[in-house]
Amino acid sequence: MKDADDEGIRLAKRVAALAACSRREAELLIENGAVRVDGAPALLPQSRVHAHQKVEIEAGARPEPVLPVTLLLHKPPGTPTAQAHRLLVAAGHHEPERAGLRFLPRHVAAQRLMTPLETGAGGLVVYTQEFRIERKLQEDAGILEHEVMVDVSGAVEPEILARLERSPARVSIGQQGEGRTGLRFALKGAQPGQIAHICDAAGLQILAMKRIRIGRVPLSGLLPGQWRYLGPHERF
């Protein structure tokens, strides 16, 4: 049998003893990123530490619940939406934002996907823990505008563009290259598969599709697989 010292004790128990607080308060200190073990951040209350390890608590830290957050992910094309949440890891956090915001494991727990995309499409998807954001995206789902860039095979003739303009979407030509045309779709209340259906009806073959905006919130420079926090002043 292993000696108890070999297994160590739960970090939350050690922090509770150091801070003279309850076990729940110790868990909150850990979840808020206020605890370091041997100089490294320790974010899991259930992790185990040994007697020789140095446990430090950030000066002035308070045992407060981790506030809910909303995350914006650039889903890569080909990734099923049901699996895209696996990209919400520390390594995928948008580099320019890392310096000012502390990533916590609780930020990606119990996130609800609000804006699914087709597997073949890439671009902006929204996950939230915030009730107000969830309610906003649900209640305004039919009026929020989605901006989607769609590359189709070949040239788009004026009569085809006229057909597209009779659809529920506002469609314009972005750029044309050899063998392909870039189209911009602006569609309120867009549903997965809707733009593909519009293109199919017009006889267009989709080569690539990327959602770059939902309401007033843009993809904002995220590379495929990267995510960022919804800013405090951003509104859908």
How far from chain centre, in Å, is Cα 184? 23
Instruction: For strands 55-57 and 40-41, give the pairing.
Output: unpaired
Answer yes or no: is pLDDT of 22 > 80: yes
**Listed residue (114, 68, 66, 71) closest to 229, CA to CA:** 71
Q: What is the pLDDT of residues 139-158, one digit of tens each?
A: 999 999 999 999 999 999 99
Query: What is the reported pTM?
Result: 0.81
Label residue 99 by pLDDT band (50, 70, 90).
low
* Biggest distance spanned by C-alpha atoms of the chain: 79
Contact 214, 196 (CB under 8 A): no
Query: What pLDDT sits at residue 100?
Result: 62
Query: What pLDDT sits at residue 178?
Result: 82
Q: What is the mean pLDDT of residues 90-108?
A: 80
Q: What is the mean pLDDT of residues 101-110?
A: 81
Answer yes or no: is pLDDT of 3 > 60: no
What domains lie within the chain, and their CATH numbers? 4-57 (3.10.290.10), 70-142+216-229 (3.30.70.580), 145-214 (3.30.70.1560)
